[in-house]
Amino acid sequence: MIIDTRQPKRVVALFLDEFGYRRWPEVAPTWSLETAVAQRAGNNQQWRTIGALNALTGQVSYLDGYIVGRQQVMQFYAQLDHAYPAAELLYVIQDNWNIHTHPEVLTALARYPRIQPVWLPTYAPWLNPIEKLWRWLRQDVLKLHRWVEDWPQVKQRVRDFLAQFAQGSQELLHYVGLAGEGKLATVINTS
C-alpha cells in the first residue's frame, strides 16, 4: 500500500474499528479531594460505534447504534464511499473480525470497487491508530462521567467528541501517532 501524500484526495487510507461503551461510567483513579460517585441504578445499557480515521487528515467518520453487525458494517462502507467522492481508491485498514469477512459483507463491499480492505493481523490492536482515539474518548468523556441518569446525554457527549474531528485534526494525528517523528508517521508521510 502506497499513500501519495502529494495527492491525498486520490488515494485515502482509513483505519476502521468498532467501539462499545455502557451507560454506567468507567472507573478511573481520581486526583481530587472528593471522589465522584455515580449511582448505578437501572439497566447498564450498551451502545456501539463503528468509526474510520483518515491517516493523512485526521478526519473521523462514524456510525453508531445499539448494534454494530453486518448491516451496519455494510452501511458504513456506503457512508465511506459517499464521504470521499473524489478518491480513486480507499484503503480501509481493519482487523479481521468475522463480521468484516462475512460473505454478505464481502458481497456488499463488491458494490464499492474503490474500497480496498487491508487486513490487520489477528489480536494486534496496537497496529490500528483509531484504538488510541477510543482511548482518548474513554479518558475525556466516559471515565467517571456524571450522567448515568441521562443515557441520551452520554451518547450525545460521545457524538460531540467524535464530531470535533469531522473536518480533520492535526492534534488527533499527533495523538494517535500518525503525525510527528514516530515510526508510523514517518512511514505514512514518506510513502
Where residue 70 sits, what CATH number does that domain have?
A: 3.30.420.10
Query: How many angstroms separate the CA atoms of 103 and 82, rounded?
Result: 22
Please say if the pLDDT value at position 99 is more than 90.
yes
Number of domain units in the chain:
1
Helix (H) or strand (E) holding 80: helix 70-83
Please, which residues have CB within 8 angstroms of residue 52's CB and are 6 or more apart in sequence?
14, 15, 16, 60, 61, 62, 76, 80, 92, 130
169 falls within a domain: yes
Low-confidence winner among 6-15, 86-95, 115-124 (lowest mean pLDDT): 6-15
57 falls within a domain: yes
63 falls within a domain: yes
190 falls within a domain: no
pLDDT of residue 11: 94
Q: How is 8-44 classified by DSSP, letter by letter? A: TTTEEEEEEEEEEEESSPBP----SSS-------S--
Please say if the pLDDT value at position 7 is more than 90.
no
Residue with the bigger pLDDT between 186 and 50: it is 50
Query: How many angstroms separate the CA atoms of 35 and 110, rounded?
Result: 52
Confidence of residue 39 (pLDDT cuts 50, 70, 90): low
| Residue ranges making up the domain that contains 170 | 11-24+44-183
pLDDT of residue 37: 57
| Cβ pair 65, 159 in contact under 8 A | no
Low-confidence winner among 26-35, 62-71, 135-144 (lowest mean pLDDT): 26-35
Q: Mean pLDDT throughout 7-22? A: 88
What is the pLDDT of the chain when averaged over all its residues? 88
Please say if the pLDDT value at position 165 is more than 90.
yes
Residue with cell 480507499: 90
pLDDT of residue 35: 58
15 falls within a domain: yes
166 falls within a domain: yes
30 falls within a domain: no
Dihedral-angle region of residue 58 (phi above 0 means left; psi in -120 to 50 means alpha; beta otherwise): left
Q: Mean pLDDT throughout 147-167? A: 93
Query: How many angstroms separate the CA atoms of 55 and 168, rounded?
Result: 10
96 falls within a domain: yes
> CA of 146: how far to CAs of 19, 90, 115, 141, in Å?
21, 39, 40, 10
pLDDT of residue 2: 47
pLDDT of residue 150: 87
pLDDT of residue 82: 97
